[in-house]
């Protein structure tokens, strides 16, 4: 177990190679409860998501997710994230636990 963003987290259970093969060939469960979640809601939600992330969220259907990142405007990346679409006015950003405060502040400055 290691400390990560205020959580005690396992590095591995049965070994990285074994876990990789199990997930690829059978099934795996991933606990992501430590990650940050930002809900984006309202009639301009898609417009905001499109402006603050690099992937094309207009391609998402309800219940789908895409991997994306938030650029910083200087050619760098604030963080990578998952963008979930619940409906045309509701999206969810799932961000890395270690960057929750930084990512939230970035989103607020871009709103």
Domains of the chain: total = 2
Mark whether 58 and 102 lie in a shared domain: yes
Mark whether 18 and 39 lie in a shared domain: no
Mark whether 17 and 58 lie in a shared domain: no
Q: For residue range 48-99, what is the model confidence (pLDDT) as tens digits? A: 999 999 999 999 999 999 999 999 989 999 999 999 999 999 999 999 999 9
CATH number at residue 61: 3.30.70.1400
What is the Cα 85 distance to its own chain's centre? Answer: 12
* CA–CA gap between residue 75 and residue 3 (Å, rounded): 31
Q: For residue range 18-56, what is the model confidence (pLDDT) as tens digits? A: 999 999 999 988 888 889 999 999 999 999 999 999 999
pTM of the model: 0.83
Mark whether 63 and 99 lie in a shared domain: yes
Q: Which residue has the tokens 């603050």?
A: 52
Mark whether 68 and 102 lie in a shared domain: yes
Please give the full DSSP string across 32-75, using - where no structure is assigned. -TTSEEEEEESTTHHHHHHHH-SS-GGGPPTT-EEEEEEE-SSS
Mark whether 56 and 87 lie in a shared domain: yes
Mark whether 40 and 77 lie in a shared domain: yes
Which residue range is the domain that position 52 belongs to?
Answer: 35-110
């Amino acid at each position: 177990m290691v400390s990560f963003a205020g959580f005690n987290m396992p590095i591995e259970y049965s070994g990285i190679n074994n876990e990789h093969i199990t997930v690829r060939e059978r099934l795996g469960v991933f606990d992501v409860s430590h990650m940050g979640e930002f809900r984006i809601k309202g009639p301009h939600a898609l417009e905001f998501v499109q402006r603050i992330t690099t992937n094309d969220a207009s391609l998402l259907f309800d219940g789908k997710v895409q991997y994306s990142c938030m650029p910083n405007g200087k050619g760098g990346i604030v963080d990578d994230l998952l963008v979930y679409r619940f409906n045309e006015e509701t999206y969810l950003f799932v961000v890395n636990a270690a960057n929750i405060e930084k990512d939230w502040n970035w989103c607020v400055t871009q709103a």
